[in-house]
Amino acid sequence: MIHNFNAGPSILPKQVFAQAAEAIQNYNNTGLSILEIGHRTSLFEDVMNEARSLVKELMLLDDQHEVLFLHGGASTQFMQVPMNLLNEKDTAAFADTGIWSTKAIKEARLFGNVDIVCSSKEANYSFIPKDFAVPNDAKYFHITTNNTIYGTQWQKIPSVSIPFIADMSSDILSRSIDFNAFDLIYAGAQKNIGCAGVNLVVVKNNILGKVKRTIPTIMDYRNHIKEGSMLNTPPVFAIYVSMLTLRWLKEIGGVAEVEKLNNAKAKMLYNEIDSNPLFRGTVATEDRSKMNVCFTAIDKEVESNFLEFSTKNGIVGIKGHRSSGGFRASLYNALPLESVQILVEIMSSFASKAG
Amino acid sequence: MIHNFNAGPSILPKQVFAQAAEAIQNYNNTGLSILEIGHRTSLFEDVMNEARSLVKELMLLDDQHEVLFLHGGASTQFMQVPMNLLNEKDTAAFADTGIWSTKAIKEARLFGNVDIVCSSKEANYSFIPKDFAVPNDAKYFHITTNNTIYGTQWQKIPSVSIPFIADMSSDILSRSIDFNAFDLIYAGAQKNIGCAGVNLVVVKNNILGKVKRTIPTIMDYRNHIKEGSMLNTPPVFAIYVSMLTLRWLKEIGGVAEVEKLNNAKAKMLYNEIDSNPLFRGTVATEDRSKMNVCFTAIDKEVESNFLEFSTKNGIVGIKGHRSSGGFRASLYNALPLESVQILVEIMSSFASKAG
């Protein structure tokens, strides 16, 4: 039995794998593969429509928010957001909470000015900044709601009076927050939405069409909205897998239910880290992520021994990001509680043996 | 039995469907799905490396050509090409052979000047222009090698002395041409390479790095080359399906062999069109595409009757593009000769009954 703690691409529900495999051989009893159907047939239009509707329903979005499934991942949005929203002399405000924020900031600077209103860089991004002011004359304020590499997460979403934008790649649909408070949300699918190869963008219509530059056709959100997210051939299969995963989430009770599960998983693992003499959490307790649990071993030998021991016991994907080392266990929506139980047992028995 | 003549996304080899379905349930006996493995593991790096090597091998590319698998489709390349190659005061030369050329021209105009050196627009794109000159001071010359909507194809690739760029989305890997004669080739995967959701780009290193503008990180080909086509999380599954399809192509004998098959399929269908009293080819005989065979019926009633008759007999995807009407049978690499035989028999028996 394998327990997949990959940071992304990452575990999806078993039923999604079964349904996706079936659809590749024979999609909905058409005798055709999902990979060979035309995207402008009702066969696929139904998939796209259901996926978009499920996002609206699960995120409780109001009618001003449009749902798009676009090619690319968050790295595309780092430039597409300022291209659509930031004039050359405008300023965008950013919270700098890690590498992904830094990358978003770098791209925004190509289109306008950037004001970094807060940063935890000096502390190796081990906490989420609390005291900062967002200037009212900035065009928008951008945060990264969960920082996959460091294991921090905004537990309290700030309230701002200017357009509010979030990269939610690694915690979207994992907890109940007011998604309508955001004017633009983007997320690569490969954690809680589906597989790699598609990008979810939720955008409020009224923030668009205000920049002076000419935007290439494929980069202008308005064109995608007008064409119902079918401006060009979409990534058909990745959207199909998203639809299946969203269906599963609805079936198990939606965001509120999965949040309870996610809370239970995170609590179980952090408890073990805090009580086990061989491991230590790496970030401020109050900012701990419920999606990516980062921890280190007391020394390098313990680290490599535990990696070997856990791998032998079916644990996959807990090696920390190459830039921060240590361990990272990702607890995305589809990871069962049982996998966390096993990990905790392994950590505990490893400590007993060492002790 | 279904015969899939879809224009794209389109038919892929049956063995690719079987292998892809298997990999979704259990990838290479790892106990993991191909959808849940990390892209920076050797499991996926092997896939990416093999896919890139197979492209080099099958296209007989020299060492100056880099192979990239990027997010998006040709519509992204329409803007990414001029963004990387065309300064504001430079001119790009284009052959205008259809809607896709027109879209590429539109995006190039956002970055520099465009010189349309030839066009068949006045004749509803029913032929490939022959007599034209490409100015030597243009930055590059761009053609669309096969025009999916109209059913025309460049049978003779022109020879030019400036950088040569081609959108080969709908005929790449279908025939032996000198791919090294091009400085940049792009193709959405969803015809001859694999499924929708990834874009093949083949580019010569020495044409890059010459524009003055700052290019967003994700749009700069050089960054993708430097990172071995893994600048960000790639569309893992779409690349895996590409690798499987490229493996299949190699197994059946490569481009030279599939070209024979494609020639036989096209000849069989055009012969029927030319001899059947109810149907007519729509483009200049010498420019007929071997990938997309476009034809019309002698009147609207025959057209709708034949569509119904062929659908009842298992023929899928032969309705013409919404902008040109009539019929379009796409004969991509993976379509078996038997499917064309069936279509021809149906056309013939339909005519017998009508006569």
Split at pLDDT 50, 70, 90, the class of B276 is very high
Split at pLDDT 50, 70, 90, the class of A1 is confident
- Average per-residue pLDDT for chain A: 97
pLDDT of residue B315: 97
The reply to whether the predicted model has a pTM over 0.90 is: yes
In single-letter form, the type of residue at position B142 comes to: H
Contact residues on chain A for B31, CB-CB shorter than 8 A = 2
> Does the active-site annotation cover B167?
yes
- Average per-residue pLDDT for chain B: 97
B242 vs A233, B10, B311, CA distance in Å? Answer: 16, 13, 29
For A:184-223, CB contacts with B below 8 A are: 188, 190, 195-198, 214, 216-219
Conformational region of residue B31, where left means phi above 0, alpha means psi within -120 to 50, and beta covers everything else: left
Q: Is residue A122 part of a domain?
A: yes
Q: Is residue A2 part of a domain?
A: no
- State whether B285 and B169 are in the same domain: no
**Of A96, A154, A171, A191, which residue is the catalytic one?**
A191
In single-letter form, the type of residue at position B190 comes to: Q
Q: Is residue A121 part of a domain?
A: yes
Split at pLDDT 50, 70, 90, the class of B234 is very high
pLDDT of residue B25: 98
Conformational region of residue A192, where left means phi above 0, alpha means psi within -120 to 50, and beta covers everything else: alpha
Q: Is residue A7 part of a domain?
A: no
Q: Is residue A312 part of a domain?
A: yes
Given CB atoms, is A24 within the 8 Å cutoff of chain B?
A: yes
- State whether A187 and A279 are in the same domain: no
Residue of B nearest to A214 (CA): B110
Mean predicted confidence (pLDDT) in B126-134:
97
Min Cα separation A178/chain B (Å): 28
Q: Is residue A184 part of a domain?
A: yes
Checking if the pLDDT of B126 tops 90, the result is: yes
pLDDT of residue B321: 87
Kindly report, residue by residue over B152-205, the tens digit of the pLDDT: 999 999 999 999 999 999 999 999 999 999 999 999 999 999 999 999 999 999
pLDDT of residue A258: 98
Q: Tell me if residue B184 falls in helix, strand or coil.
A: strand
Cα(B252)–Cα(A211) distance, integer angstroms: 52
- State whether A24 and A166 are in the same domain: yes
pLDDT of residue B279: 97
- State whether A157 and A108 are in the same domain: yes
Minimum-distance CB partner of A217 among B18, B72, B106: B106
Given CB atoms, is A72 within the 8 Å cutoff of chain B?
A: yes
Given CB atoms, is A11 within the 8 Å cutoff of chain B?
A: yes
Split at pLDDT 50, 70, 90, the class of B355 is confident
pLDDT of residue B99: 96
Task: List the CATH number of the domain containing B97.
Answer: 3.40.640.10
pLDDT of residue A155: 98
Helix (H) or strand (E) holding B20: helix B14-25
In single-letter form, the type of residue at position A256 comes to: A
Checking if the pLDDT of A324 tops 90, the result is: no
Token pair 């200017």 in the structure block, residue: A162
Checking if the pLDDT of B35 tops 90, the result is: yes
Q: Is residue A6 part of a domain?
A: no
Residue of A nearest to B29 (CA): A2
What is the number of residues in chain B?
355
In single-letter form, the type of residue at position B38 comes to: G
Task: List the CATH number of the domain containing B310.
Answer: 3.90.1150.10
Checking if the pLDDT of B325 tops 90, the result is: no
The residue among A199, A219, A251 that closes a domain is: A251
Q: What is the DSSP letter of B320?
A: P
Given CB atoms, is B241 within the 8 Å cutoff of chain A?
A: yes
- State whether A144 and A280 are in the same domain: no
Count H helices, E strands: chain A?
Answer: 9, 14
Beta strand residue intervals within B120-175, DSSP E:
140-144, 146-147, 152-153, 164-167
User: A243: Cβ–Cβ under 8 A, 6 or more apart, which residues?
Assistant: A47, A50, A51, A54, A194
CB A25 within 8 A of CB B21: yes
- State whether A198 and A214 are in the same domain: yes
Given CB atoms, is B75 within the 8 Å cutoff of chain A?
A: yes
The ipTM of this complex is 0.97
Minimum-distance CB partner of B71 among A9, A72, A190: A72
In single-letter form, the type of residue at position B320 comes to: G
Cβ–Cβ gap B79/A36 under 8 Å: no
In single-letter form, the type of residue at position B114 comes to: V
Split at pLDDT 50, 70, 90, the class of B95 is very high
- State whether A37 and A165 are in the same domain: yes
**Of A90, A96, A100, A204, which residue is the catalytic one?**
A100
pLDDT of residue A321: 87
Minimum-distance CB partner of B24 among A20, A37, A40: A20
The residue among A230, A251, A272 that closes a domain is: A251
Q: Tell me if residue A162 falls in helix, strand or coil.
A: coil
Split at pLDDT 50, 70, 90, the class of B1 is confident
- State whether A18 and A90 are in the same domain: yes
Cβ–Cβ gap A22/B21 under 8 Å: yes
Mean predicted confidence (pLDDT) in B315-323:
91
Mean predicted confidence (pLDDT) in A87-116:
98
**Structural domain containing residue B67:** 14-251
**Of B90, B96, B139, B167, which residue is the catalytic one?**
B167
Checking if the pLDDT of A349 tops 80, the result is: yes
CB A16 within 8 A of CB A31: no
Given CB atoms, is A4 within the 8 Å cutoff of chain B?
A: yes
- State whether B200 and B266 are in the same domain: no
Cα(A238)–Cα(A217) distance, integer angstroms: 22
Cα(B15)–Cα(B244) distance, integer angstroms: 9
Q: Tell me if residue B6 falls in helix, strand or coil.
A: coil
Q: Roughly how many angstroms between the first and final C-alpha of chain B, as a whole number?
A: 27
Cα(A120)–Cα(A153) distance, integer angstroms: 12
pLDDT of residue A185: 98
Cα(B267)–Cα(B246) distance, integer angstroms: 25
Q: Is residue A8 part of a domain?
A: no
pLDDT of residue A254: 98
- State whether A146 and A285 are in the same domain: no
Number of domains in chain A: 2
Checking if the pLDDT of B23 tops 80, the result is: yes
Split at pLDDT 50, 70, 90, the class of A278 is very high
- State whether B239 and B336 are in the same domain: no
The residue among B251, B276, B303 that closes a domain is: B251
Return the percentage of chain B with pLDDT > 90, whole number. 98
Cα(A50)–Cα(A241) distance, integer angstroms: 12
pLDDT of residue A344: 98
Q: Which residues of A106-121 are buried (b: 16+ CB within 10 A; e: fewer)?
A: ebbebbbbbeebbbbe
Return the percentage of chain B with pLDDT > 70, whole number. 100
Split at pLDDT 50, 70, 90, the class of B319 is very high
- State whether A173 and A290 are in the same domain: no
